[in-house]
Amino acid sequence: MEKRLDAATMILPMFGIGLVLMIWTALSLKVAPDLPSPLRTWQESQNYILNPFFKDGEMNQGILRFAFLSLIRVAKGFLLAIAIGTPLGFLLGLSANFHRAFDPVIQVLRPISPLAWLPLGLVIFKQSEPAALFTIALCAMWPTVINTAMGVRSISSEYLNVGRVLKLSPLKKLSKIMIPATLPYMFTGYRLSLGMAWLVIVAAEMLTGSPGLGGFLWQEYNSLVYSHILLSVISIGLIGFALDRLMSVVERRFKTA
């Protein structure tokens, strides 16, 4: 594919960013005096960005160190989510009765906020780390479940007929036809699930006080260092964006036909 880099594609994003910075500055000057301006945010945060790997205690680390801690936690929760979500989606897609039995439960569980799951996780696991993973997995699982189920249901009868004519064994049918045919849907689900997991991480770390971008954000709020809230917010946004790009590259690789 050819990339066109004309003036508009270069300048317009800059314009958008500039406008947001202006609104931010205006807010900090006129409306909310406690909100640090972009300049002050940079001045007070530069150590975290320029020395992204320093470590001066659990809750005072370079931004990439915090990001790394959060990413590890997200990765664990995300893997748990897709490990449970993919087979569940397959069962829902394959069996109408399974779908009838569990679809209502899923539809009820799906809109529950991570803020609601976390206390329950703490009650069950008594420790913050497993409770955080439990919350991430439970919230991030649904896009994988729903997309996988939809993928299985929309496998073309053409492909299934090939399997029927060849009398493939159930295992062969699964590995040679059903899984490859569902893969594009599964990866759409994975991309959405990863986005969800990243959304949940902040809430999970805030409530459990674990070191990471969300934990740091909450601690700095309590310590009244508001510029570091903004630092965390921007880092979370940039990393979330990067994760989504990365997953959509992977997703595109699996688009067949």
Partner 1 sequence: MAYLEIKGVGKSYRRNATGASADSARLAVLSDINLAIDENEFVCIVGRSGSGKTTLISLIAGLLEPDAGEILLEGKRISGPGPDRGVVFQNYSLLPWMNVFENVYLAVDAVAPHLAEAAKRQRAEHYINLVNLSAAMKKVPRELSGGMRQRVAVARGLAMDPKVLLMDEPFSALDALTRGTLQEELARIWMETQKTVVMITNDIDEAILLADSIYTLTSGPGATLGPAVRVQTPHPRSRAQLIDEPSYQRVRRETVNVLMAGRTSSAVDSAVEKKLLH
Q: Which residues bind partner 1 (CB under 8 A)?
A: 158-159, 161-162, 164-168, 172, 176-177, 180-181, 183, 256-257
In the bound complex, what is the minimum distance in angstroms from residue 96's beta carbon to partner 1?
18
* Whether 125 contacts 137, CB under 8 Å: no
Closest to partner 1 by CB, 154 or 223: 154
Nearer to partner 1 among residue 43 and residue 169 (C-beta) = 169
Q: Which is nearer to partner 1, 141 or 181 (CB)?
A: 181
196 contact partners, CB below 8 Å, separation of at least 6: 139, 140, 142, 143
> For residues 9 and 161, which CB has a smaller minimum distance to partner 1 in the complex?
161
Cβ neighbours, 10 Å, residue 64: 17
CA dist 105 and 241 (Å) reads: 31
- DSSP assignment of 21-50 equals HHHHHHIIIII-TTSPPHHHHHHHHHHHHH
Q: Minimum CB separation from partner 1 for residue 162, in Å?
A: 5
**Distance between CA 103 and CA 149 in Å, rounded?**
11
Distance of closest approach, residue 183 Cβ to partner 1, in angstroms: 8
Element (H, E) at 107: helix 96-109
What is the nearest approach in angstroms of partner 1 to the Cβ of residue 93?
18
Least distance to partner 1, CB of residue 156, Å: 8
Instruction: Give the shortest CB-167-to-partner 1 separation in angstroms.
Output: 6
C-beta closer to partner 1: residue 102 or 159: 159
| Least spacing, CB of residue 155 vs partner 1, in Å | 11
- Comparing CB distances to partner 1, the nearer of 95 and 156 is 156
How open is the CA angle 60-45-71, to the nearest 5 degrees? 55
Question: With contact defined as beta carbons under 8 Å apart, do 44 and 36 qualify?
Answer: yes
Which of residues 43 and 175 has its CB atom nearest to partner 1 in the complex?
175
Cα 12 from Cα 167, distance rounded (Å): 57
CA angle 183, 175, 98 (to 5 degrees): 75
Half-sphere exposure of 138 (CA within 13 A, CB side): 21
